[in-house]
Amino acid sequence: MSNIKSAFENGKAFIPFITCGDPDLKTTAAVVRAAVQNGADLIELGIPFSDPTAEGPVIQGANLRALTGGVTTDKIFDLVRGLRKDVKIPMVFMTYANVVFSYGAERFISTCKEIGIDGLILPDLPFEEKEEFLPLCRKYEVDLISLIAPTSENRIAMIAREADGFLYIVSSLGVTGTRSEIKTDLASIVAMVRQSTDVPCAIGFGISTPGQAKKMADLSDGAIVGSAIIKLLEKYGKDAPKYVGEYVKAMKDAIR
pLDDT in tens, 107-145: 999 999 999 999 999 999 999 999 999 999 999 999 999
Choosing among 3.30.70.890, 3.20.20.70, 3.55.40.20, 3.30.530.20, the CATH entry for 14-255 is 3.20.20.70
Section 39-63 average pLDDT: 88
Residue 153 is predicted with a pLDDT of: 80
Residue 173 is predicted with a pLDDT of: 63
Confidence of residue 10 (pLDDT cuts 50, 70, 90): confident
Query: Is 55's pLDDT higher than 80?
Result: no
Instruction: Report the alpha-carbon distance of residue 188 to residue 127 in Å, rounded.
Output: 20
* Peptide linkage before 23 cis (omega within 30 of 0): yes
Residue 93's DSSP bridge partners are 45, 120
Confidence of residue 54 (pLDDT cuts 50, 70, 90): low
What is the distance of C-alpha 57 from the center of its chain? 17
For the chain, which residues make up each domain, given as ranges?
14-255
Q: What is the pLDDT of residues 15-40, one digit of tens each?
A: 999 999 999 999 999 999 999 999 99
Confidence of residue 101 (pLDDT cuts 50, 70, 90): very high
Residue 109 contacts residue 135 (beta carbons within 8 Å) = no
Residue 178 is predicted with a pLDDT of: 47
Write down the pTM of the prediction: 0.94
Q: Helix 57-68 to helix 227-236 angle, to the nearest 10 degrees?
A: 50
Residue 241 contacts residue 33 (beta carbons within 8 Å) = yes
Long-range contacts of 49-56 (CB under 8 A, 24+ apart): 49/95, 49/96, 49/98, 49/99, 51/96, 51/98, 52/96, 53/96, 53/123, 53/124, 53/175, 54/123, 54/124, 54/175, 54/176, 55/175, 55/176, 56/174, 56/175, 56/176, 56/177, 56/227
Confidence of residue 181 (pLDDT cuts 50, 70, 90): low
Section 62-86 average pLDDT: 96
Residue 149 contacts residue 113 (beta carbons within 8 Å) = no
Q: Helix 227-236 to helix 25-37 angle, to the nearest 10 degrees?
A: 120
Instruction: Report the alpha-carbon distance of residue 201 to residue 194 in Å, rounded.
Output: 9
Long-range contacts of 183-188 (CB under 8 A, 24+ apart): 184/150, 186/216, 186/219, 186/220, 187/219
Section 133-161 average pLDDT: 94
Query: Is 177's pLDDT higher than 50?
Result: no
Section 150-170 average pLDDT: 93
